[in-house]
Amino acid sequence: MPDFKKERKEKSEVDYFAAFMTLWLWYNSRYKSHYSEIIWIIDRMFLDKIKTDFSWRNQTYSNFKTLIESEDRKGIEFKTNLELLIISLTRSNLNMTKTEILYKKISFDKALIDYTNYARESWYVNLIKSNSRSKKRNKIRLNDIELIENKEQIFAWLMEFIYQIRCLLFHWQMEPIDDNKNVVKYAYFLLYQLME
């Protein structure tokens, strides 16, 4: 009698592509009701508002700031997932979705903060400070990776990145290979934590 180990293992694996898409739909409805003053129902307009609103009104940013500054279990989990995302991105070959910038690899060392300036090379920012273990305070330490101290830029890029993953998935532009699956898995974890 066959034991179907391979088949059972495949059936038990979490499909983070589907999970991320479902989570995005929930997030999408949440921010659209939150920023109801935006007349045009275009995701890009809502995303740009989220990326630039650092007030108490933006619950996503408030959660991000709390998690990135926290040393409790949730903060450590968030920073670990962020570091694993950065590592997974270096292994993948994901590109931005806009036709004119398809050659631009999605990464934290060349992060596009303001999407309207995608054609200007000077608008890409290196968010990775260093991999050293220096004691200087002008950085955000994850585990082994250190990011620049600018939380607003890190948040804006993280939200842009999550949106790019959304575009790649919803428009069937992401190959379902292991490296990409890991990127989506950590994007899912991070977005889920930002929504708690």
Q: What is the pLDDT of residues 132-153, one digit of tens each?
A: 555 556 677 787 888 888 899 9
47 CB-side CA count, 13 A:
19
103 contacts: CB under 8 Å, gap ≥ 6: 95
Q: Please give the mean pLDDT across all residues of the chain.
A: 83
d(CA 138, CA 48): 27
Read off the pTM. Answer: 0.84
The closest of 32, 188, 48 to 112, measured between CA atoms, is: 48
List the chain domain ranges: 43-195
